[in-house]
Amino acid sequence: INISVFPPSNACIGRYILNMQITSCGHTYQRCLGDFYVLFNPWCADDPVYMDNQAHREEYILNEHGILYEGVHKHITSRPWHFGQFEDGILDICLKILDMGASYHHGSDRDHCWRNDPVHVSMVVNHMISSHTTNSIMKIPENNDYLKGTKPFSWNGSVPILQQWYNGRCRPVRYGYCGSLASVMCTVMRCLGIPSRVVTNFCFPCSIENPLGINEIFDCTGKNLCGKDKLWRYHCWNESWMARRDLNQCCGDWQCLDPTPLETGRGLACSGPTWVRSIREGELDLDYDGHHMFSRVNSNYVGWLSQNNAKKTKFFCDTWPCGQHLITKSVGSEQFEDITGAYKYELGSVKNKEAYYRAYRRIHPGYCNASNCHIERELSSLKNPFLSDSGINMRLKMANCPMYGEDVQLHWVLENLRSENKNLKFNLCAQIITYSGCPMDQFWKDSVNVTLGPREVKKIPLCISYSQYGPYLCDHNIMKVVAVSDPECGEVLMVSRDIVINRPPVIVKLLSQPRLKVPCTAEISFCNPLQEDMKNCVMTLEGCGLFKEPMTIDLGTLASNQQARTIVEFTPYRLGSHRLLANFGCHKF
């Protein structure tokens, strides 16, 4: 007997058991024929996650290889990530996540009725990634302290994280960061049949008091002081494709889901799902957490100089608006796609202003009847004056693309826009900044007197040596260089630049052609570029379809300019496009 099962498009996803009942001669017998899984189906036109583009289905459902974008908006870095949604056991782990999070919205999971709705499924998964009280999949380290767990940036893929959570009795894995949280969520959603992708937003504001304003405070040396607000250099979240029946959508569209717990005014919480188009239109009443997601791509930056008497002064500066660069991996390509236009209209356009005014009235109830002009005047009073208003233009330009161990070379360009001389004194400094905007050690300071003739342009070279920044960089490969004028000289001018220090590359070379179930070898090499020893060196190898679990190689200590070469053997155990990832770690990073 051949049995075909045709689940309706509104069937609840999960694992089903198929039983057969036989009645013969007055006796009834039960026999279990096996089990099967029902998932969301983006190939089915009646399914709420239907996606009509085959290339998009291949990228957002079938592709196990992804790319995470990090760095700063002027220097975007990337690193590969293994989603591994088709690895053995991952589907059962994903269903376990739904079981553990079932009570989040519904109190009881006896009828499983919510499991046919991708909106509720996505909310449960979003909550379980890092917001569940006891059984969340991953934790973020408090105060950047991760000595009792794995370094957040050392993960290469989702599979080891999910396996460690499942095998550890569903206790949180220590530790992750926004990129790993969003990537693990992407794995779970793709595994359940919901098209998903990871998005990176550069210049991401995290403000507690003012949803549409972010404040950064500096002292007279240019040091960034630790305040309540944080300007994240980048932040990753997840987008999933579905038709929102609760919003009367008849066709699928991208929904924003942020699994990273952030301060929302009601405590730490994840956000979403939020219809991306409602963020662009400023229609914040339509959706879950719409005002939080809108503020994360539309906040205004305000910079302050704090003087000894606790007086704060706005300085002249040219700021990069928050949320002006959102990217994701392109379909069928290793390049990134700029999707900023999906979240907001072009800056300064009529539609952009209309959406902002609409959102402003919903976020600030006191302005619900205010005119556009009234709101615009309020916004203008909060902004920093432009550098050009002071008669001076400044910028910090990179003269090199520094790698770990190399000196940082910059050109400080100053232009006098007026027809009279300018005599100014500047304080300069460099400081380590975490990706989440936490200021760390200030390791370099200097002061310079600058004289500019009428309409003169001057270029001043700056050099920060590795011996100055190396002892402080650690895992945080971002530094901030600031030049701020002395307040005693009159108007306070400031220019700054975030700089990414690139890590040395790990070279992977295949020595034989990979074939299914046939041993294959590869050479992994790494060279210590520093003028000092690297201690506690470890190489971690991972690859979906290549390694059942990550392989760790202890390299010990590498002397200056020493090259480590390792030959590894592996046996591909399933067909498909595979990628071998190698991650290097030591006492420095």
Buried b / exposed e along 452-480 (16+ C-beta atoms within 10 A): beeeeeeeeebebebeebbebbbebbbbb
Scanning 157-305, the segments in alpha helix (DSSP H) are: 159-167, 178-191, 276-281, 290-298
Helix, strand, or coil (residue 129) = helix
8 Å CB contact between 66 and 333: no
DSSP label of 226: -
| CA pair distance 480, 98, nearest whole angstrom | 42
The residues, any chain, with a CB within 8 Å of residue 476's CB and separated by 6 or more, are 144, 432, 433, 434, 435, 440
8 Å CB contact between 64 and 544: yes
DSSP label of 316: B
- Cα 112 to Cα 99, 170, 214, 410, 416, distances in angstroms: 10, 21, 42, 59, 69
Structure tokens at 320: 């990069």
Share in percent of the chain as helix, strand, coil (round to 5): 25, 40, 40
Scanning 142-240, the segments in alpha helix (DSSP H) are: 159-167, 178-191
Structure tokens at 135: 């059984």
The residues, any chain, with a CB within 8 Å of residue 43's CB and separated by 6 or more, are 50, 57
**What is the chain's Cα-based Rg?**
27
In sequence order, what are the beta bridge partners of 325? 202
DSSP label of 131: T
Name the residues annotated as catalytic: 178, 235, 258
Give residue 528's identity as a one-letter amino acid code: N
- Cα 265 to Cα 229, 235, 259, 291, distances in angstroms: 13, 19, 17, 12
Backbone angles phi, psi at 163, to 5 degrees: -65, -40
Cα three-residue angle 534-538-542, rounded to 5 degrees: 145
Cα three-residue angle 537-437-376, rounded to 5 degrees: 155
Give residue 288's identity as a one-letter amino acid code: Y
Closest CA to 474 of 439, 434, 437, 510: 434
Closest CA to 192 of 256, 101, 117, 104: 117
The residues, any chain, with a CB within 8 Å of residue 491's CB and separated by 6 or more, are 316, 390, 485
Strand blocks (E) in 125-280: 138-139, 173-174, 196-206, 213-218, 224-225, 230-242, 253-263, 268-275
| CA pair distance 143, 552, nearest whole angstrom | 28
For residue 319, the Cα-to-chain-centroid distance in whole angstroms is 21
